[in-house]
Chains A and B, each alone.
Chain A
């Protein structure tokens, strides 16, 4: 399906638009479902078509993973307006929980999803409680500090993380081990992950929590005055977002089968990349983060291959430029730009 179809169906429109759609009509989860199934089916078709083209399949797999992570982040970062750079921490918690349970206790990663979610959510709630006193940029800095603490601990706690040399998982293919011989199976797995995050995101956006989060984002003083429990709302959003990110960590662990703290907790490769993807796609829309991942992951890969080999760091020069120009001229991301084009087009009609 084309991107314009998405824009037309209102999928890229944000919730504030939805209220204006008709005088009495409230946009509910049921209204969102057709688009959701169409998007998932379209990506499923892409996975099927690419199932023998390993290069593109791998790209798509990574794009789906980061799409899922960005959609998860968007719940607290976009709807709630709390710009966490610390989601790599929850990602790492998911990966290490699954890795250790599987390696040392033979627990199937499918079962490990539950403890990974609970642990990520618990850590998120505990560390967010003090940090949520800070607002805006101050919050972002505090989460960045959190990443530093996590790296130091991950490097130190070798029994769990394997220290700098990393944690490896033996290769034993099988559905119960979440390790597959066929590459397309991973793409399908990450598509499933993406679908779960998208569905959660839709349900939250169209529920009381979603409206609370947006109220807190837009004006927390007014939200508090209207009787919204600010801290509780933020904590809930954060815990759900972190739990979903933890699932991503579980799947990632079983996909790559070797993780090390420097890569997993890398500020740029994970921590900032997740919000960046959401920003490029369109923060606080449902499909924007997915769109961002489908654009940025292949772009990043391509830049690494072509620019990176020509000039050291060349890929990051281009990425840095995109980041600066994007924040200057495309504040609403690709989704926002598409919406503007669509509006201009419909006004002409």
Chain B
């Protein structure tokens, strides 16, 4: 039974990681409907940014977040303006362009670092808490906490603020939003930037846990897409719940079936959900089609 609870705890912590990675993607993919394959690369840049702050200024990664996250928000906005904005009405071209960005960013980092794996520590790295025989690592708990805060914050932001309402309005009907005087392109630019900034935040918080490599983004981005579609497009709560589902599935499949097959199990669950409820668990019915109808 102890084993079972350990697996549950592992799944919850892993789920927190996936949820955090997915919250940003949810904004970009779920709300403004851009399939951004390079999302994982922004996460990777966040990790390297934290490392840079650590190695040059001795900055703790958690403190480095205050520099890295705004920087990546800005970078995301620039990328949106230069690459995604001209392709607004061509979702397939956006897919290709974002894949090109993936190759570009990944290999520029590879060229600069020479592909040497790096890792770093914070005072929290070695700390584990033991509650009723179940172990939690402090760094993972911080991520779980951050995921909850980020999801809650984003949810409140979208629901309560003027700007959040503008984002939702644009997501629902671009034309009508424009007629109401919302600056659509600026709204998209900010949404994209916030999305990449959140990916950067996830990256920063992951640095104490994972070894840095230019390819690391790929480990998370597929799972993140699964989480967003699973939870429901545009639903912040969905991203959170979806993250936990994927995390728990991975932990259980890895422990009880076969670690090699854990990814297969996730994606089978993913495809099964698409079959039964294409709009995801918390998405509005038909949300998977609405985005396309608006764009075409």
> A residues touching B (Cβ–Cβ < 8 Å)?
83, 127, 130-131, 133-138, 140-142, 144-146, 148-149, 151-153, 155-156, 268, 272, 275-276, 279, 311-314, 316-317, 319-328, 331
Contact = CB atoms under 8 A, between A and B. Distances in A.
Given A136-B292, A156-B261, A317-B103, A328 B97 contact: yes
Contact of A148 (B87, B267, B288): B267
A141 B114 CA distance: 31
Contact of B106 (A135, A137, A316): A316
The 6 closest A-B pairs by CB, nearest first: A323-B100, A320-B103, A313-B107, A320-B104, A152-B264, A324-B100
Contact of A144 (B86, B97, B110, B222): B222
A312 B112 CA distance: 9
B91 A136 contact: yes
B41 to A, nearest CB: 10
B275 interface: yes
B83 interface: yes
Nearest to B260: A156
B95 interface: yes
Chain B residues touching A, majority SS: helix
Nearest to B278: A133
A324 B130 CA distance: 49
A92 B273 CA distance: 26
Given A136-B91, A327-B100, A152 B229 contact: no
Contacts of A151: 263
A153 B264 contact: yes
Contacts, number: 143
A317 B105 CA distance: 8
Contacts of B278: 133-134
B103 A319 contact: yes
A140 B91 CA distance: 11
A158 to B, nearest CB: 10
Contacts of A275: 96
A142 B92 CA distance: 14
- Max chain A C-beta neighbours (<10 A), residue from B96, B262, B270, B271: B96
A133 B274 contact: yes
Contacts of A148: 222, 263-264, 267
16 contacts: A133-B274, A144-B222, A152-B263, A155-B260, A156-B258, A312-B114, A313-B115, A313-B214, A316-B107, A319-B103, A322-B100, A323-B104, A324-B100, A327-B87, A327-B94, A328-B83
B78 interface: no
